[in-house]
Amino acid sequence: MPTKPETALVAEARDLSVHYQLQGGALSRLLGVGARRVKAVDGVTVELRRGEVLGVVGESGSGKTTLGRALLGLAPATGGSLTYHPSRGGTQEITSLKGADLRRLRTDVQMVFQDPSAALNPSMTIEEGIGHPLVIHKIASGDELHRRVVAALERVGLSPVERFLSKYPSDLSGGQKQRAVIARAIILEPEVLVADEPVSMLDMSVRAKILQLMLDLKNDLGLTYLYITHDLASAKYFCDRVAIMYLGRIVEIGPTEEIFAHPRHPYTQALLKAIPEPDPDRMVPRDLPRGEIPDAARPPLGCSFHPRCPVATPVCGWESRDLRALLEQHWVRDADVDYEAERSVVGDLDDLDRPQRTARLAGRDVAAVRDVLDRVRAEDPDEPLWGGVRRVGEHGGRLEVEFVEGVDPPLRAAGGVQVACVRYGEDAEWPDEGS
Amino acid sequence: MSAPVDPDVVLQAEDLRVWYGTERGPVRAVDEVDFTLRRGEILGLVGESGCGKSTLGRGLLGLLPEGAARDGVLRFQGRDMLGLSRREQNRLRGNELGMIFQEPLTRLNPLMRISEHFSETLRVHEKGISKDEVERRSLEALRVMGIPPTRFRAYPHEFSGGMRQRLMIALTLVLRPSFVVADEPTTALDVLVEAQIIRILHDLRDTFDTSLLLITHNLGIVAEACDRVAVMYAGKIVEIGEAAEVFRHPQHPYTRELLRSTISLSTTGLNFIEGAPPDLTTPPPGCRFHPRCPDAMAVCATREPSALDMPGGSRAACWAAAARHDLLTLDAEESAPLEREELSVADEA
């Protein structure tokens, strides 16, 4: 029952980035070379409107959790800005908050965690645990504290309250623990709840109950939710708007109804196709993207999704690593291919691991390498990679495959939503006939 | 006792029970379970956590911890499994019986290359196998799982989560077992990778002629990949049948409510099952689901229903379903709606 969101902004992220530096060896740190950065969140612009449920959907490694934590000031932003109540003059820039101000923010923004067993202090009773935020923020004590804990427990349905107050988290079932976590989150009367996979660790029979509780709380207390999940089905039911994330970026964002009725980004389409539905007429889906989410420290050139994209175009950013993947796929696909022989012709593949628009194969017998590539191409001529090949030639006694310069598409408006794909939008680099 | 001669039946359980001794008394985690599994068939096993589905899966392979016991009848290709010695059971595992676990990383040795995992597996189970044969078989198993031969000498940490699960499946299948238990094989994986793995498991029968027991809590996976489905509640199989039939016409109220509470893309309202599964040291009398059942009648609280064949071909243990199909008649007293105690959140799962 998505409610109509009001337009006032609660929070706004502009070009927000959260990058993590990976530890290299001592020498590389000293020289500053080879230092790898993981772009957990990479230039995300999104607004959270009062009273709405904004879903952030993506696979693990997409940066959805980091985005949620950044909103609480738990993950340090390395670029861009994150403003709380931008309409009030933008004084609450989360990215620059420190100490007492940051603590004050945390009474307004609270988090519900994925694993309720890990989110509650095992050595605190439910009464202590749920009342703890009030103690930390020095808001209530004594009778007032007790009264508010009881009220919060009743709000989340943990009644009769006396049965729970003196219990420890380990005495509670999964659903009850998650209710306790929610009680602790709402006891400070926050404005925003960041809910990170709040039901994914619960049993089927109780998931719907917790979601219903969250909807009730939202309506009763006027909350705004950022709902982080990998589960498109619950997002469809629960959210007013949905943002699909892939490798640190939002690739599609818009009203839930439109995203699910007309998914545009190939990644959104793939996710929807992959969800196992309890429908006896459905068969195992066969035309799914290959591979897995790439290493965020070494993202693909061009569009991050292109190596897995079934409808990739010549301008999506083809590069050396894609050629390696294609050769490996070729050796997997056909049992009759003489792998040992072809491998020795093509030579060492490790050179291809460095992302480059021109792939140089190590094999010394150029004509033979060309033969192998021709065989791979003949096996699957429709493979989108071949469309991106600009030139195959010889250079310095090696075979070189040069690819078309790729584009990294920005989010652009397309039919009521925003999509980051070369096929969509006003200035689409590769307009889709159907769009 | 003569073994059944049907060569197509790979596994047969009759009145199978598994129980554990605990401080609070014996727990019957699997209670009076009956089913058969045919060659190349995929049977889905679903239920809430704690319903005994993992225990049943392990019990079938004899992989139970100390202090657990099995009883009843379990036949594998006609052989009585419960009468075998520990040694004989060990010999069957690997070659004939396989298992795919939930967390692949904890099952792979971080210090061993993938090639070493394969050669160890093959050498332990097939004494005297040649080096060339090891390599040929391993590479073929990897190829079927979509892992390129270039990765044969890599270490487990160099693989992604989905690749590791494929490795585990390849390591199980390289020995060509006739029966494999896969316990929540995709729970730790992302949606797209999960779909890839489900497709691989679904296609196993074409490549390896393997029968599969797929344990999952995800009804969507069962609908897509399984031929038949067994629904477990509190240690018992309450309904079993063709997956399409069970999903279209669930006979047991538990199956129906479980389907209704699943959140899918076509969900338009939230439904849930009140209460929680019972403590198995003291299961409720009569039908174990009766305290949570919306259809419960007076008889459900006192007498346990037996499993009966329903008109659609599935088998269910439910008084209401049996009465609905005129498989038995209940008098007015028995069929009176059960006065249910109020279930509060205090008893929630």
Query: What letter represents residue A410's amino acid?
Result: P
pLDDT value at position A31?
Answer: 60
Cβ-nearest to A173 among B148, B151, B348: B348
Q: What is the average per-residue pLDDT within B162-183?
A: 93
* CB contact (8 A) between residue B272 and residue A209: yes
As a whole number, the mean pLDDT across chain B is: 91
- DSSP sequence for A15-28: EEEEEEEPP--HHH
Q: How far apart are the first and last CA of chain A?
A: 29
Cβ-nearest to B224 among A173, A203, A282: A282
A287 touching chain B per CB within 8 A: no
pLDDT value at position B1?
Answer: 46
Tokens 């207390």 correspond to A221
- Mean pLDDT, chain A cut into blocks of 10 residues (435 residues total): 60 92 66 73 94 94 93 88 75 70 82 92 96 93 96 93 94 93 95 94 89 96 96 95 97 97 96 90 84 88 95 95 94 85 92 92 94 94 94 94 95 95 92 64
Q: From A106, A152, A99, select the one nearest A127 (Cα to Cα).
A: A152
Query: What are the chain A neighbours of B245 within 8 Å (beta carbons)?
Result: 280
Q: B220: part of which helix (H) or strand (E)?
A: helix B219-225
- The answer to whether the CB of B181 falls within 8 A of the CB of B98 is yes
* CB contact (8 A) between residue A292 and residue B150: no
Q: From A138, A147, A66, select the one nearest A103 (Cα to Cα).
A: A138
* CB contact (8 A) between residue B218 and residue A159: no
Cβ-nearest to A288 among B143, B195, B221: B195
Q: B56: part of which helix (H) or strand (E)?
A: helix B53-61
Provide the token pair at A123. Answer: 């050595």
- ipTM for the predicted complex comes to 0.90
B194 touching chain A per CB within 8 A: yes
Query: What are the chain A neighbours of B199 within 8 Å (beta carbons)?
Result: 284-286, 288
Q: Give the burial class of A200: count Cβ atoms within 10 A of its Cβ; 0-12 exposed, 13-18 middle, 19 or more buried.
A: middle
Residue B179 has pLDDT above 60, yes or no: yes
pLDDT value at position A61?
Answer: 87
Query: What are the chain A neighbours of B143 within 8 Å (beta carbons)?
Result: 331-332, 335
B158 touching chain A per CB within 8 A: no
